[in-house]
Chains A and B, each alone.
Chain A
Amino acid sequence: MDAGTLVITVRTLAISGAATLLSIIVGVPIGYALARRQFAGRTVLLGFINTGMGMPPVVVGLIVWLLLVRSGPFGDFELIYTPTAMVVAQFLLATPIVIGFTTASFQSLSPRLIDLLRVLGAGRVRMLWLLAREARLGLLAAVMAAFGAIVSEVGASMIVGGNLERSTRVLTTAIVTETSRGEVERALALGFVLLALSLVVNVALTIAQQRNRP
């Protein structure tokens, strides 16, 4: 692996990793609330979120581009064509996935378990932590699905990142570039790197997930 490829790989991992982390921080509590609380419009909201799980990256990229572009509402932040813009777009793609999986895995816990923790006197934060540990299988599946979806997407990264060689080129956009240049072998090699990256991350998460399996 040459230095250029290494830089792109690290950048890919950093951008998608940051977006995944943010989507967990935001998505898990929302999923937890959706699983625990009953309110008007909850089912419809879940429907929207489940639709969001399959959102086309290109469309999300376009929307983020419209928001961040110089003449757009958030143009003053000068974020367009930066790694930050890519994190924002990937975050928007990953969050519905995290929320959807999280809601399902919290809902599959026994309601009696929640009763037990309430009677034992668990506060809100403690409750979330203990239940998250119980729902670990589903939550780690959420992380894998989210990371897998955004590390492999190309549309949003291309549009909001601009595929700038020095700052925003990631593995997927690099593959597109190399292919269009006719550098098929290099494109293929990058493809293998992407797969290897996915493999390493997912194997690590799977080990964490299956440890002490019930």
Chain B
Amino acid sequence: MDIRLEDVSCRRGGRDVLGIPSLSIASGRVTAVLGPNGAGKTTLLRLIAGLDRPYSGKVLVGGETADARRRCVSYLFQEQVFLRQSLLDNLELGLQLHGASDAEARERAIAGLQLLGIESLADRRADQISGGEGRRASLARALSLASPVLLLDEPMAGLDGRTYTRLLDELPPLLGAFAATTVVVTHDREEAFRLCDDVVILVGGRVRAVGTKQEVATNPRHREVAEVLGYTVLTAGGCLVATPETGFTLAPAPTALSAVVERVTDVVDHWEVVATIGETRVHVRAPRSDTPPTPGDHVWLRTSVMYELS
């Protein structure tokens, strides 16, 4: 079930918080909405869920306005929300409201808890579980509904390191198995890239980039996008960005940029190269090779992430 936004705007307190002329989210794929705090990510998710109405424009889920299709959507809230009853009852309630019979609801609720490895918590009251368990329970509820559209708002927020890592390993195959149209809101680049197929970069209520994760990661186009992706913008008003992990690699290539080596430092396992491209000085991490570049050399800087800023 695909999701489409047409000329959508959203206002809060007389201020525009979201403005999306057009956005399509492909059916059956996992799309990450990535952006800094206050970018309008949750606002977008709430519009898709039909929890809020846009100030103008249309939000179509499966070709219909989201309001009417509310029942097709399963939503994981950033906060943990449960009724004051057992986890099993909480999961069953969701399924019953979705039209499952009592017996079927129980069966699917237990299956959901098993999926997340928390079936032992079935009888625990929802207010007596830890943050990590609560997150698993929320995920179990969201997944057990098997809705065609799955919306996850910061599914990994507030988890400790170990729990985070484990859940981040478990989640992609789970999402893959359900094959729902999944939208994951996150401010964490690694999380987004681990979980998703497609990426939507949202900054200041505007979509700044959209595409497969490869497309977006290798071609950020805008400085803001590069920053959201965690790239270091090397020049102040200039035109270069670099990933923190790889930096630039030195190699002659047709898509590369010519630079002059200024200084080379030997750093245990790589060369730290300072080079200039015109007026711009860049720091480059170069892999160790037999012959290090020497000052004055003309070299090619190849990078997968190097763009003109418009």
Contacts and interface: CB of A to CB of B under 8 A. Distances in A.
Contact of A121 (B46, B71, B84, B125): B71
Interface string A83-123: 00000000000000000000000000010110111111110
B81 A121 contact: no
A113 B71 contact: no
Contacts, number: 46
A119 B74 contact: yes
Contacts of A214: 84, 125, 127
Interface stretch (A11-19, A126-134, A176-184, A188-196): A126-134
Contact of B97 (A122, A134, A212): A122
B81 A113 contact: yes
Query: Which among B49, B75, B81, B125 has the greatest number of chain A C-beta atoms within 10 A?
Result: B81
Interface residues of A, number: 17
Contacts of B1: none
Contacts of B51: 115, 118-119
Given A116-B75, A119-B75, A121-B71, A134 B83 contact: yes
13 contacts: A110-B81, A112-B77, A115-B46, A117-B97, A118-B51, A119-B74, A119-B75, A120-B94, A120-B98, A120-B145, A121-B71, A121-B98, A134-B84
Contact of B77 (A115, A130, A212): A115
Contacts of B73: 119
Given A115-B77, A116-B77, A121 B97 contact: yes
Contacts of A212: 84, 125
Interface of A: 110, 112-113, 115-122, 126, 130, 133-134, 212, 214
Contacts of A110: 79, 81
Given A118-B51, A119-B49, A119-B74, A112 B79 contact: yes
A214 B71 CA distance: 30
B122 interface: no
A187 B79 CA distance: 57
Most A CB within 10 A of own CB, among B71, B94, B97? B97
B139 to A, nearest CB: 14
Interface string B59-99: 00000000000110111010101011000000001100110
B70 A118 contact: yes
Given A120-B93, A121-B71, A133-B84, 19 more contacts: A112-B77, A115-B46, A115-B75, A115-B77, A116-B75, A116-B77, A116-B81, A117-B97, A118-B70, A119-B49, A119-B51, A119-B70, A119-B73, A119-B75, A121-B70, A122-B97, A130-B83, A212-B84, A214-B125
Interface in B123-150: 125, 127, 145
Contacts of A121: 70-71, 97-98
A7 to B, nearest CB: 42
Interface in B21-60: 46, 49, 51
Contacts of A130: 83, 93
Contacts of A112: 77, 79, 81
B18 to A, nearest CB: 18
Given A118-B51, A121-B71, A113 B93 contact: no
A126 B79 contact: no
B66 to A, nearest CB: 11
Contacts of A116: 75, 77, 81
A143 to B, nearest CB: 19
A130 to B, nearest CB: 7
**A-B pairs, 9 with minimum CB distance:** A121-B71, A120-B97, A119-B75, A116-B81, A112-B81, A121-B97, A120-B94, A112-B79, A214-B127
